[in-house]
Structure 1
Amino acid sequence: MPNHFHLVLRPHGDGDLVERKPLRAELVERAEDWRWSSLPDWIRGAPLLWRGEPPLRDAAWLSRVNEPLSASDLRRIRHSVERGRPFGDEPWTRQTAALLGLESSLRPRRRPRKE
């Protein structure tokens, strides 16, 4: 799929990236102001919104979503997108890459040096 990009996110801790997108693009002042997000419904306690078991969002979720990304997080995300590499902590990244056949995305590019 050369014209598509797929990014696998770890369900806990990195899922806020999706809800942070309109904020990062400066379309809203706070992530919960983006009306096409599930975040406003989650804040209102919409009964049809699946809450997850274990809960997908904890009490600090909203403040994390509205925090700016650090330079190192942004660098890690860009690296994951460029390499087609799952994004998360190292053990989860390795496990997910193995399950999805993406081990090559974990290795450096180029041929290994001759010994």
Structure 2
Amino acid sequence: MRPIADGLIYHVINRGNGRQKVFLHDGDYLAFLEAAAELKQRKPFDLFGYCLMPNHLHLLLRPKAGQSVSRVMQSLLVCVL
């Protein structure tokens, strides 16, 4: 696990395997955002911005104290992608 410090903002990029699409339909984008909103209740983080593209995504996020960016992303991606 990477060392982390509370209060840092992370630019997270996630790409589909082999650059395959991860968002196939318009509803997939909305489902991702809804899952992120729900996850914020269980693993608190601040989401400052996002860009969802068909084959990848960018997030600017800051995990709340005691949370790791790795755990937040793992939980989010397992739920949605």
Question: Considering the TM-score relative to the shorter chain, is it more than 0.5?
Answer: no
Q: Which has the higher helix share?
A: 1
Higher RCO, 1 vs 2 (CA within 8 Å, ≥6 residues apart): 2
1 or 2, which has the higher strand percentage? 2
Structure showing greater Rg: 1
